[in-house]
Structure 1
Amino acid sequence: MKSRTLIHLMLVNNKVNETISTALKPYGVSLQQFNVLRILRGQGSTPANLTTLNERMVSKMSNTTRLVDKLLIKGFVYRSVCEENRRKIEITITEKGLKVLSDMDIVMQKTESELVEELTEQELQTLNSLLDKF
């Protein structure tokens, strides 16, 4: 039973990742890049550094620098050297990044709703309670 449960979790994880990746594809943004943009938007006018981004990522990874570089090329983020600490890099979301993220939010809300459309509110609450135990 334990193996079956873990296999189900992995299959659901794959389906969710594939569905969200497909939804983000028209924007040329990966799920991880989308996550970075959301973190930066949540920072408001306060810049983030690579450590902050990595700590707040849903999926912890060591290639945060590469993710930021790709977003920089697209014009979605701005990177600068901190005035007080020249070794620290500060990252902020650009107006272009905010605009595309706003567009992606609409698509993501629709995608998320479609992913859980077969579940009732009560089932979602139960599932969340069970997953919290992990």
Structure 2
Amino acid sequence: MPKSILQQQLKKSAPFDSLPQETYLNLLRTHNMIAAAPSQLLKQHGLSSAQYNVLRILEAADAPGLPCLEIVSRMVTRVPDITRLIDRLKDAGLVSRTRSQTDRRVIRIKLTKKGYALIEELSEPLVDIHQQNLGHMTKTELVELNRLLVKAREAAEATAAAK
């Protein structure tokens, strides 16, 4: 049996233990390659991908700011310490905190003008990076890839929810 492309790239002489293992490693390698350029761009602006994700969530929020738990529920990747992440964004002047007048226990996080400006500045370069990384694929291929990724993720989400 000929070696798979990933097997060749990793210079792995033995076959993978299973097709799911090879698929997982392919996903991991692909993520690392595709995430490098956006991560580098964000790093130049003092942001991590999780921090940028928070900014985009706040930008899209209908409400005047969101509580931390709502932000966490909308994140692409889970972070262990949302409070510290918000602290860093606040220290950078990108978000503000406001205590709710109706329920003093609730603190809403809101994007500042500086936060909106940074999102605006990063928007086009990030679109260009995504186009460079995935623009070679047809619309049909991208739709199918998205469908398969959701299908793969469903099992992991169900397992996580059961714990």
Contact 1:45 1:92 in 2 (8 A): no
Other-structure match for 2:55: 37
Q: Distance in 1 between matches of 2:106 and 2:120?
A: 28
Which AA in structure 2 matches 1:8?
A: N
User: Of the two structures, which has the highest relative contact order with CA contacts closer than 8 Å and spacing of 6 or more?
Assistant: 1
Contact 1:79 1:90 in 2 (8 A): yes
Contact 1:23 1:111 in 2 (8 A): no
Aligned equivalent of 1:128, options 143, 146, 150: 146
Gaps of 5+ in 1: none
Contact 1:54 1:62 in 2 (8 A): no
What's the C-alpha RMSD, in Å, of the aligned pairs? Answer: 1.3
Aligned equivalent of 1:101, options 115, 119, 125: 119
The TM-score normalised by the length of structure 2 is 0.77
Q: CA deviation at 1:45?
A: 5.0
Other-structure match for 1:85: 103
Gaps of 5+ in 2: 1-18, 153-163
Which AA in structure 1 matches 2:101?
A: E
Instruction: Report matched runs for 1:1-134 at 5 Å.
Output: 1-44=19-62, 46-134=64-152
Structure number, greater radius of gyration = 2
Percent identical across equivalent pairs? 31
Which AA in structure 1 matches 2:32?
A: N
The ranges of structure 1 where at least 4 consecutive aligned residues each deviate by more than 4 angstroms after the TM superposition are none
Q: How many residues align?
A: 134
The TM-score normalised by the length of structure 1 is 0.93
Q: Distance in 1 between matches of 2:79 and 2:107?
A: 18
